[in-house]
Structure 1
Amino acid sequence: MIAFLKLSPVFLMAGLMIASNLGTLGLDILQIAPIAVVYAAIIAALTEKVKFGDLVDSAVNNVKEMQLVFFILMLAYAMAESFMSTGVGAAIINLALGLGISAKTVAVTSFIIAAILSVATGTSWGTFAACAPIFLWLNHIVGGNPVITVCAIAGGACFGDNIGLISDTTVVSSGIQGVQVVDRVRSQGPWSLCCLVLAAVCFLVVSMGMPGEVGNAADAINQIPKEVYDALAIERPSAVELLSQVKNGVPMFMIVPLILVLITAIKGVPTLACLGVGLISSLIFGLFAGTVTSIHEFLDNMMTGFADAGSWVIVMMMWVGAFGGIMSKMHAFKPLSDFIAKTAKSVRQLMFANGILSLVGNAALADEMAQIVTIGPIIKNLTDENVEAKPEDMYKLKLRNATFSDALGVFGSQLIPWHVYIGFYVGIANAVYPLYNFVSFDLIRYNFMAITAVVSILLLTLTGWDRFVPLFKLPSEPDVSLKKRA
């Protein structure tokens, strides 16, 4: 009974999130998280007799560990705004559109472009809002299937959110597990690319029987009604600017800032420096291209990015971080951790259980960031306390845990009908393309990227087949072992 009481704050948060996403309550995570924090504090005081001051210290200390992440997130959001307003995103899209698109290729093209753009901007929501108006209307012109195309955009948008060096989920999940973002990206890169290629093949296969006439982006953008522009301006104003740039064209050298960010990241340059390179280079090249008319305008875009991060993501992370600190103080997840530790017969089974726990936590909390900051510390402790290994092997296990938190948060969200991700995507899709009434399950039906990523990472971890994927192999026994078997 005590163990259930200690876990009840999670059930409260999950219930409120699910009810809100299904339209029953209509509460935001910024309302739900404080409620959950207060309730968790009450339960901690009742079950563990923890003093109020100690609860505050636990909550604040947990949030303090995220300080560097907050700075990274602010710069990441600023760079996302910069890339969409200075022409970097438009240059990427126009490069692909210049190759010619038909109903057979609109889905796979939108998938690849969304994947590249999401890596460049670090935001899946911004990428989806930017790409949906272009490719859904282009899909309309060439006679494609809107459900397949919207799933392709969603899957591609989440690719960079999972592996992008400036993605908030990548940064936070890596920070919680104590690994470098660059190391995380390198280790999971081959697996992520394999999932990308397999999903692209699936989109090509399901589009085989469609018309082969080539369409063009300018025609698609010209058909977007004014009310759609108005709705998009509210949801993502920078996407409106991107649409204009795609229509009117930008110099192709605006791709250079993206290339510079990728090069510095591959070279192992710290994340803050990579973000700085992206911001400065987009400003310089934007001034030459004419997409930036003044430094003041550019700074306004940076401020918008800071405001977006500070008004929702960072505040939400602070509340959920406080929630996690209180839950840890009363050892709320110890019974669950003990169960996994007792039932796991090998390190691989333990790691597989960590993956399942991340996926279930995402479904329960209906928010991938809430899952990352709540479940992330649990799977970290499970590994640290139950596995014996050399430091380099333990680091590999931490990398996998970080990938679990992120991949099963971001991609798992696209397979959960009541998730905030799905709600946002459905809202954007219906706003920018009112000719079709999208519902939650439409975003799941052909989401080959999410299905491939979620199924493969769990299967590869459990079976040991990850040894066939370069850099992705987990250390095997006896190099690593469960402490109870040591």
Structure 2
Amino acid sequence: MKFLKGFLKFVPIFVLAGLMMLKVNVLTAAPIATIVACLVAYITEKIKLNELIDASIENVKELILVFFILMFAYAMANAFMSTGVGASIVNIALSLGVNARSVAVCGFLVTGILSVATGTSWGTFAACAPIFLWLNHILGGNILLTTASIAGGACFGDNIGLISDTTVVSSGIQKVEILERVKSQVVWSVLCLVVSAIIIYGMSVALKLPTEAANTALAIESIPAEAWSAIEAQKPAAVELLNQVKNGVPVYMVIPLLLVIGVAVTGVPTLLCLFLGIISSYILGSFAGTVESLPVFLGLVQSGFSEAGSWVIVMMMWVGAFGGIMAKMDAFAPLSAIVLKISKNVKQLMFWNGVLSIGGNAALSDEMAQIVTIGPIIKELVDKNVEGSEEDLYKLRLRNATFSSSLGVFGSQLIPWHVYIGFYVGILSSVYPLHTFIATDIIKYNVMAFVTVISLLLLTITGWDRFIPKFGLPREPKVKLKNQTSEVNSDKEICA
């Protein structure tokens, strides 16, 4: 009976995962799963509807600040892509010269930087895919290596960006400061970027790709009309970015990005950082001629608010409500018990938290759904079962936040049925119809995804993360599982 009761509590998860696998939009799947969770909570625990509603609202209230940050992040992403900030980054990189042997690694680094600047991997990929795929075509590069490289690079900002929605949400759920989170993993993240870039270039050399340079403007002009329509439908701001890359923008348009990063490092609150980025892009864009007028610019900001409100915030509210109900009926207690049973120390517990994040991502087929569903589970595993100083426990929560977003975003790159991969294939098929793209082909060449996921889990379980500045987890006996402490105390009592 106890087993059946525990199994029933997981039914809402199966419903959510099943709907996602059937390609049902998460805005539809989450409300359905929430209703199922209410029914299960009543059947298993006799929890009344008003109590479930209260639990849902309380869980969503925890995300209110995150909602405001997301709205400003989306607004700044639109501003950066439309005023020339993104184009200046691309042009600076391409001015160094590109050939078939370097196009993949160049695309990888450009998308990595651009994703940090805009806070959107989806927008970065939509903007850069047509540039680098047609540039790759003209140069005679390897289409799959280039495609997978810009896919991996576009996710770098979601891994470490101050304004990325996944970074913001995962940090909020774990109750850690975004800046502290970025500081803790910046060296590891950059190392992943560097190692991946070296491997990508090594693969280009091994493939004996040609070394003749080509003209970027020619690559953009080669984009077919139907591809332009597809890009505009997916991300209108990306069309403006492409035109700016082609026509050129002043180098000083990179200043808003540098300003946001600079003030963020000094500890300025995230909302103020985003506001400064928006204002500076407007001021400099006015001088550069990339801003038509104040009403038009405000329209970009409004569009960003609208995009966040019509999709990610609504989705988070529903999944947040779902998580509140699941927590109210203690649905994840059996799963937590299994993890605790197989974890002999804190290091192993943290490793399994990472595995749970990957597994949740595969089951839910959506990285944000994984963050808001699995995030509270791994947080509770640490909060309830690990003892140590507040500083050391905070470091564990920082790693949980990294698990949520890093294994969420880069883990999605390795899951063929994930919505992220579906988005990639849709964009690629539209902007470059000369090749039939298959999800598994892109995955095989996604060096950054493999390096990030494998290194994070390996460093955690081996303890080698201590060799990376600010990234190492506190080690026993500074932190220990509470059941271990109980066992030690029991042994002492027996000996006495």
Unaligned runs of 5+ residues in structure 1 are 21-26
Paired residue secondary structure (2:477): coil
Instruction: Work out which of the two has the higher radius of gyration on C-alpha atoms and give 1 or 2.
Output: 2
Hey, what does 2:373 align to over in structure 1? Answer: 374
Hey, what does 2:127 align to over in structure 1? Answer: 130
Hey, what does 1:71 align to over in structure 2? Answer: 68
> TM-score, normalization: structure 2?
0.96
Paired residue secondary structure (1:434): coil
Paired residue secondary structure (2:10): helix
CA-CA distance at 1:324 after TM superposition: 0.3
Name the aligned partner's letter for residue 4 of structure 1: F
Please list every run of at least 4 consecutive aligned residues from structure 1 whose deviation after the TM superposition is greater than 2 angstroms: none
Hey, what does 1:103 align to over in structure 2? Answer: 100
Name the aligned partner's letter for residue 334 of structure 1: A
- Cα distance in structure 1, aligned partners of 2:428 and 2:467: 38
> TM-score, normalization: structure 1?
0.98
Name the aligned partner's letter for residue 236 of structure 1: K
Unaligned runs of 5+ residues in structure 2 are 486-496
- Cα distance in structure 1, aligned partners of 2:352 and 2:376: 14
Hey, what does 1:56 align to over in structure 2? Answer: 53
Paired residue secondary structure (1:437): coil
Hey, what does 2:463 align to over in structure 1? Answer: 464
CA-CA distance at 1:266 after TM superposition: 1.2
- Cα distance in structure 1, aligned partners of 2:383 and 2:433: 50
Hey, what does 1:480 align to over in structure 2? Answer: 479
Percent identity over the alignment is: 63
Question: For the aligned residues, what is the CA RMSD?
Answer: 0.6
CA-CA distance at 1:269 after TM superposition: 1.1
Paired residue secondary structure (2:480): strand
CA-CA distance at 1:80 after TM superposition: 0.3
After superposition, residues 338-349 of structure 1 pair within 5 angstroms as: 338-349=337-348
CA-CA distance at 1:406 after TM superposition: 0.7
Hey, what does 2:214 align to over in structure 1? Answer: 215
Paired residue secondary structure (2:387): strand
Do structure 1's residue 198 and structure 2's residue 201 form an aligned pair?
A: no
Hey, what does 1:6 align to over in structure 2? Answer: 9
Hey, what does 1:323 align to over in structure 2? Answer: 322
Task: Summarize deviations over 1:90-142 as a string: whole Å, max 9, x none.
Answer: 00001111111000000000000000000001100000001001000000000
Name the aligned partner's letter for residue 25 of structure 2: D
After superposition, residues 85-484 of structure 1 pair within 5 angstroms as: 85-208=82-205, 209-484=208-483
Hey, what does 1:24 align to over in structure 2? Answer: none
Name which of 10, 20, 23 aligns with 1:17.
20
- Cα distance in structure 2, aligned partners of 1:458 and 1:425: 25
Name the aligned partner's letter for residue 435 of structure 2: Y
Task: Summarize deviations over 1:244-276 as a string: whole Å, max 9, x none.
Answer: 100111001000000001101111111101101
Hey, what does 1:46 align to over in structure 2? Answer: 43
Name the aligned partner's letter for residue 9 of structure 2: K
Report the more deviating stretch, 435-444 or 250-259.
Answer: 435-444
CA contact (8 A) 1:97 1:216 kept: no
CA-CA distance at 1:430 after TM superposition: 0.9
Name the aligned partner's letter for residue 70 of structure 2: L
Name the aligned partner's letter for residue 53 of structure 1: N
CA contact (8 A) 1:147 1:443 kept: yes
CA-CA distance at 1:443 after TM superposition: 2.1
CA-CA distance at 1:342 after TM superposition: 2.0
Name the aligned partner's letter for residue 48 of structure 2: K
- Cα distance in structure 1, aligned partners of 2:376 and 2:384: 12
- Cα distance in structure 2, aligned partners of 1:128 and 1:195: 19
- Cα distance in structure 1, aligned partners of 2:100 and 2:350: 42
Name which of 69, 80, 84 aligns with 1:83.
80
- Cα distance in structure 2, aligned partners of 1:29 and 1:162: 22
- Cα distance in structure 1, aligned partners of 2:361 and 2:77: 25
Hey, what does 1:23 align to over in structure 2? Answer: none
- Cα distance in structure 2, aligned partners of 1:42 and 1:7: 12
CA contact (8 A) 1:119 1:161 kept: yes
CA contact (8 A) 1:232 1:240 kept: yes
Name the aligned partner's letter for residue 17 of structure 2: A
Paired residue secondary structure (1:207): helix
Paired residue secondary structure (1:441): helix
